[in-house]
Structure formats: C-alpha cells, structure tokens
Amino acid sequence: MANIQWFPGHMAKAMRQVKENLRLVDIVLELVDARLPESSRNPQIASVLKNKPSIIVLTKRDLADPQMTKRWVDYYEQHGQPAMAFDSTQDNLRSLETKIREVLADKLAQRAARGIKSQRVKVMCLGIPNVGKSTLLNHLVHKKIAQVGNRPGVTKSQQWLKAGDSLQLLDTPGILWPKFEDPVVGKKLALTGAIKDTLFAKDDVALYALEHFVNHHAQLLEKVYHLTPEELDQPTVEVLLALTKRMGFRDDYDRASERLIFDCRKGKLGRYTLDKIPAKKG
C-alpha cells in the first residue's frame, strides 16, 4: 500500500499566514486529538512557534480513554509543555481561560506593572484538519460562527472571534505536513477523520483498526459486532471477512471497512486511545 498523504495548496498558504500572524498573538493553543495526541501533532508547528507560549489542548476527550488522556496531559506537563484536555460538549470557557492566564502569568503581571489596562488576550488556535477547532471555538463564543463539518478541510481561512470578556481567538485552517514518515501515523489520521476519505483504501485502515481492537479491546468487537473469540483468533484479514458477514454485507468487505471506520469515529466501539506514552529513556 502507498503511504497515505494529503497536503492541498491551501495548507501551505495557511502555514505562511500562521508565521506572519504569530507576532499578533500572546499565546497559541495547539489542538490535538485526544485519541492520538502525538500522531495528530504537526511536527512543523514546534519549529514555527519557537519561544511563543503555547498550550496543547487534547480535544474530543469524550471519545478517548480517560485514563490515557490524563497520562498524556501529565506527560506533556512533566516535559515542560503546558497541556489540558477539553470536551466541547460540556467544558466551559473558564477552565481554558484559567489555564491561559496561568501560562501567561508573568507577561500579564508585567503589563499590569506598566499600568496597561485590562485587555483581551489574543490567542491563535492551531491544529490538523478535523481536530475539533471550529467546534471548540463555537462552544467558547456561544455562537455558530466558525464553520463546522465532520470532515477535514472545512475551515479555509483565518478569522478572529471574541470569547467572553477577555479572550480574542484566531481560528486557522487545519494544517497537515507534507509527508508522514511513519505510515502508521497516516492510518491513525485516516481512521479518526483527519484525511479525506477518498484518499485512502478503506480496507487498509479497517485492518489497522481491527488489529488495534483485537489486541486491546477484543470484548468490544464481541459486544458490538457479535464476533466470537474463535473468529477474533485469526489473521486480521480473516477477522475482516468474518466482520463483513456479521454485518450482513456478504463479500463486500469495502462496505464493511467503511462501516467499521465510521463506527470508530462516532465512538460506537467505546473510548479508545491509539497512541502510547513514550517509554522513559535509560
């Protein structure tokens, strides 16, 4: 299988705009998918941000393993990178604002010392496609301003949004990087919806998903699709064929693959996290 890639022209333009607008903001929110915190981080972002204060925000935490989400937040914090998890369906602006002011405490104190009156903190929101930026922003501003879609590439331009009395948020288009060095990263991004569905083979991604669930959540496959332990104790290709029959699709494994992918995205198979915490060196 060829490596999954997707880097439309507007993403290169968006990255240039990010570099140009960094000087206008006080802090950056780097949004990542809580189901794959590292795999959904654009590796180009770190070099672009340099010394700009930033917070990693693990979105869609309602779809991820809660214990793993906590471990990932702790991991980032222990490595000097401020982080927090956020659920756009229930968390409020105050928790995000508190974290932002905590990270910018010294800068805000310096402003106060110079007699600068209270002003809005300017925040840039970055992330890969379909990571939940627009959903989060609409939730924070209590209006349907940012365009939302359960597919990548919806936001095509940058826009400023006011949140509460103290934040001004700059939304940006989702930005991937030109080449995934690890082909598994491409499969993870495809499974969770960061890459257009027309750009990858459904059965390849479904086989990756089945391998993960068989190894880590076999009971969910048994419960949701009524697969037996004997059916799961086979090569992954055979598991996909068994799943196809269980779904009533006969030999149409492409259709079964698509159904499995959508079920994973919607949380039908429960809360899961694909990325593991890196092992400690030494």
Spans of all domains in the chain:
9-171, 201-266
- Between residues 41 and 9, the one the model is more confident about: 41
Spelled out in words, what is the top-level CATH class assigned to the domain 9-171? alpha beta
Judging by DSSP bridges, how do beta strands 121-127 and 167-171 pair with one another? parallel
Per-residue pLDDT tens digits for 140-188: 887 666 554 444 444 445 678 888 778 888 888 888 776 777 889 999 9
Whether 29 shows a pLDDT value over 60: the answer reads yes
**What number is the average pLDDT over the span 98-125?**
87
What pLDDT is recorded for position 1?
Answer: 45
182-225 pLDDT per residue, tens: 889 999 999 999 888 988 999 999 999 999 999 999 999 999 99
| Average pLDDT taken over every residue of the chain | 86
Share of the chain above pLDDT 90, in %: 54
Higher-pLDDT residue of 116, 57:
57
User: What HEC string does the chain produce?
Assistant: CCCCCCCCHHHHHHHHHHHHHHHHCCEEEEEEECCCCCCCCCCHHHHHHCCCCEEEEEECCCCCCHHHHHHHHHHHHHCCCCEEECCCCCCCHHHHHHHHHHHCHHHHHHHHHCCCCCCCEEEEEEECCCCCHHHHHHHHHCCCCCCCCCCCCCCCCCEEEEECCCEEEEECCCCCCCCCCCHHHHHHHHHHCCCCHHHCCHHHHHHHHHHHHHHHCHHHHHHHHCCCHHHHCCCHHHHHHHHHHHCCCCCCHHHHHHHHHHHHHHCCCCCCCCCCCCCCCC
Q: In this model, does residue 19 exceed pLDDT 90?
A: no
Whether the per-residue pLDDT at 282 is higher than 60: the answer is no
pLDDT confidence of residue 4: 60
pLDDT score at 151: 45
